Amino acid sequence: VSATKDFNSINEYPSIKDAVVEIWDNVGNRQILPFNVDSDKYVATNLALRGVERKTYNLSVKYQGKEYLAESIMLPLVKIDSLTLSKLTLLDYPCPMIHFTSPIDMKKGGYKCTIYINDKVLTNDTFISADYLAGKPIHLILPIFFEEEEEDRKDTSIKQGDNITVEMQCLDADLYKFFWSLDRTNNRMSNPINNIKGGALGYFGAYSWTQKKVTVE
């Protein structure tokens, strides 16, 4: 929890340590979170509030007479069936190709795919909307483009022996909108769509995730 500023502001975001932060689920488990000085965060310690698929989680933050509310549903885990490598015409190195089936009952929300090369995360995530995908097998190449801040690698290509990991998060509709809009508001004078009511910037999310790894041969 930090002071709200414009998303593209270069200023620092000072932590707020005297807010009342509470989370709860739809079966009656709840906790007011203590502030952890070491991590500079509010940390949940109630084991009953661990993420469980299909549960709904709520957040309340009270600060200076205002209350900020958010809700998130942890969607069922969708596993990656396999991860292969494929070539794109414009690139001289292989990119991961993800294979999975979108569940018949997942008609809203979507998937966020994050790529790691040799355990180092890349900044360009891929977003897959679940709209119109219910029950369909998905075979999608995830293109890898190296950003300026990633050019400290010895080379900006994928070479033999590299380990490529893809992490896929299953996001509810509001959480998907946040990350999708965040990806598109980068370096622009606007803020992403968020799921927090009350005027705060940010997101509250509960999501399931899975990952697969492939080695370049």
Kindly state whether residue 145 falls inside one of the protein's structural domains: yes
How sure is the predictor about 11, in pLDDT bands with cuts at 50, 70 and 90? Answer: low
175: left (phi over 0), alpha (psi -120 to 50) or beta: alpha
Q: What is the pTM of this model?
A: 0.86
pLDDT of 132 above 70: yes
23-40 residue pLDDT tens: 999 999 999 999 999 999
How sure is the predictor about 8, in pLDDT bands with cuts at 50, 70 and 90? Answer: low
Kindly state whether residue 107 falls inside one of the protein's structural domains: yes
Residue 128: CATH number of its domain = 2.60.40
Could you tell me the residue range of the domain that residue 149 belongs to? 82-193+203-215
Contact (CB, 8 A) for 109 and 169: no
pLDDT, the chain, mean: 89
Residue whose C-alpha is closest to residue 158's, from 81, 85, 83, 89: 85
Kindly state whether residue 153 falls inside one of the protein's structural domains: yes
**Average of pLDDT values for 147-167?**
76
Structure confidence at residue 82 (pLDDT): 98
Kindly state whether residue 61 falls inside one of the protein's structural domains: no
Distance CA 196, CA 12 (A): 21
Domain count, the chain: 1
Structure confidence at residue 145 (pLDDT): 85
pLDDT of 131 above 70: yes
